[in-house]
Amino acid sequence: MTDAAATKTLVIERDMPHPPEKIWRALTEGNLIEEWLMKNDFKPVVGHKFTFRALPAPNWNGIIEGEVLVVEPPSRLSYGWGALGLGSVVAWTLTPIEGGTRLRMEHSGFPSEEGANYKGAKYGWQKFIGNLERVLGGLE
Amino acid sequence: MQAQTDHVFRALSDPTRRAIYERLARDGEQTVHALTGRAGVSQPAVSKHLTVLKRAKLVRHRREGRETHYSAQPQALAPMVEWLELYGAFWRDRFDRLEELLKRMDDK
């Protein structure tokens, strides 16, 4: 994480003692997704629109709407993640390592209203967050 | 609190509004007139954007003569930063659950 822009993305990475193919199933099969993430009608098909349903919380209906963006079994999976009227993108990367898989998740940007121009929006948002941190730093 | 977070996110989801807000945060108080000169959109459009930013409490204004001066209120960004932290906790929890599921899958 030396890239200044990349630090503006939420990244979680863990090494798991399981083969990529098995983790891929847990990430893409609806009944398995429900066991660790949320109720869903997910399908690993590019363009498929799906809904994740969590328990509603105060001021939130618990619904996350998304669209599948990238499906490259068993190494890359990415989908849009829309909640509270704002879009973002969740990207999974599965890399084989000795004895298992390095699983990386990046939840990046909160672009919306820009559709296909996601890359530009993501850059804009990350740049903005960078400025934001400077602004907040100046408050303290 | 949640409504305020919504307002902040919506206000900043638009690149033009983000640019206006950034400019105010960086360069300090400015008039609509000065902002219009650099925003690349019409004055009514800038005023509309400023109204959305005001509703999110991201900017405040004061009148002086015929001009209205706008300034950034970065404190309004606090709920957004908390939201990012919340997502961090959310995903770590889901990673734990995913690992538990993978162990169970071994047993099948």
Q: Give residue-wise pLDDT tens across range A39-51.
A: 999 999 999 999 9
Predicted local distance difference test score (pLDDT) of residue B14: 82
Q: Lowest mean pLDDT: which of A17-21, A104-108, B30-34, B104-108?
A: B104-108
Complete domains list, chain A, with CATH? 8-139 (3.30.530.20)
Predicted local distance difference test score (pLDDT) of residue B107: 52
Q: Give the residue-averaged pLDDT of B30-52.
A: 89
Structure tokens at A138: 């100046």
Which of B10, B101, B104, B106 to mutate against chain A (most A CBs within 10 Å)? B101
ipTM of this predicted structure: 0.71
Predicted local distance difference test score (pLDDT) of residue A63: 81
Predicted local distance difference test score (pLDDT) of residue B9: 78
Contacts of residue A101, Cβ cutoff 8 Å, sequence gap at least 6: A15, A16, A18, A19, A20, A23, A94, A95
Handedness of CA A46, A65, A106, A138 (dihedral sign): positive
Q: Lowest mean pLDDT: which of A61-65, B18-22, B36-40, B80-84?
A: B80-84
Choose between B31 and B38: higher pLDDT: B31
* Amino acid at residue number B12: L
Predicted local distance difference test score (pLDDT) of residue A132: 43
If one looks up domain B2-107 in CATH, what number appears?
1.10.10.10
Looking at the DSSP bridge assignments, the partners of residue A100 are: A97
pLDDT band at B82 (very low <50, low <70, confident <90, very high): low
DSSP string of B15-66?
HHHHHHHHHHHHH--EEHHHHHHHHSS-HHHHHHHHHHHHHTTSEEEEEETT
DSSP string of A7-35?
GGSEEEEEEESS-HHHHHHHHH-HHHHHH
Which of B8, B99, B104 to mutate against chain A (most A CBs within 10 Å)? B99
d(CA B23, CA A7): 23
Q: Give the residue-averaged pLDDT of B48-59.
A: 93
B100/A contact by beta carbon, under 8 A: yes
d(CA A60, CA B3): 10
Enter the DSSP assignment of A6. G
Q: Which residues of chain A have pLDDT under 50?
A: 1-8, 110-140
Predicted local distance difference test score (pLDDT) of residue A67: 93
* Separation of first and last alpha carbons in chain B: 45
Interface of B with A in 47-76 (CB under 8 A): 72, 74-75
| pLDDT reading at B2 higher than 80 | no
d(CA B89, CA B94): 9
Size of interface A-B (CB pairs under 8 A): 87
